Structure 1
Amino acid sequence: MNKAVFLDRDGVINNFKKPVNTPQELELYPWTAKAIKKLNQSGYQVYIVTNQGGIECGYLSAKDLARIHQHLIITLKEDNAIIDDIEYCPHFKTKCECRKPNPGMILKLANKYNIDLDLSFMVGDRKSDIIAGQKAGCKTIKVGSKYPQADFSVENLAAAVDIILKVKTPISN
């Protein structure tokens, strides 16, 4: 079984001053590529799980989002940082199992890639990210302001990766 780090996108990997509706609006934090590369080198698979309700609301299309994510993947690859896959929830008003705080995106990726969730982490900047990670059975790291229910709270993704690489995870059978 594999171990993974699930990352929220907006506010964790990229600056989230306003919704990202075009590739040009995606502004990665300066530490993002280096942090993801460290995870890659440490044997973690890295996935993005992101709520993108702007699709259902009509602010962008699935094609627009694909272009944004392609730009993200190419930009990170230039620094030898690899995202193994991206799952997104297009819903905003529609009830679904994929929109965080539901764990649907994490569980789908875990099933698809044979991931041991006991060995994995969810890193997010919102309460809904932490709840989704907990429901899926991951350890959780809150970026930004503290959230007492998270296993850890840190300033940014770089600090989250430092914790992930120090935490002893249970031995998988």
Structure 2
Amino acid sequence: MFNKIFCNGFNPITIAGWFNLAEVGGRNFSAKQFSGNKYAELSAFGSNAAVVKAWLVTKAINLDATTNERLTFDTKQGFIGTGGSTAAALKVLVSTNFTGTGNPWDATWTDVTSQATLSPGTVTSFPSAFTPSGNIDLSSYSGNIYVAFRYEGADPTGSTSDLTSTWQIDNVSVIGD
């Protein structure tokens, strides 16, 4: 038996309760829908920005009443270009000192991306299904934490070094025993 501490499948189609901030490049995550499924999405494509950085951060998630906490989510990555040459980075981060306001980049974040399975992406479209992340271990944390998805891409005008892949995120959950 587990306790669902936090869950968001982006239904209804809003990103209410999330901290959604463009750090550089003027792009935020958007709520999108395809075939009845709702998710958060971001792409640097068409931005003409040398750098696009954006944050999508959960509200505070309190882990004091549970043990063996883990984070799960699903991703899709599309339009990565030949050989993944235009793949933008998506990082998964955890903070214990972000306050839920202000600039998330001023807080201390631990990169937990290596614990996750992310969508490998496709060259000219999207994979047919989302890729489950697997369990990201959060059991070493206590008190309030924040989970962030940080996108970093680029689409500079006239450049061939674009990092414009589109990332979609869905079914974000933190569960514990």
TM-score bucket of the superposed structures, by smaller chain: 0.3 to 0.5
Q: What TM-score results when the alignment is normalised by the length of structure 1?
A: 0.33
Answer with 1 or 2: which has the greater Rg. Answer: 2
The answer to which structure, 1 or 2, has the higher relative contact order (CA under 8 A, 6+ apart) is 2
TM normalised by structure 2 equals 0.33
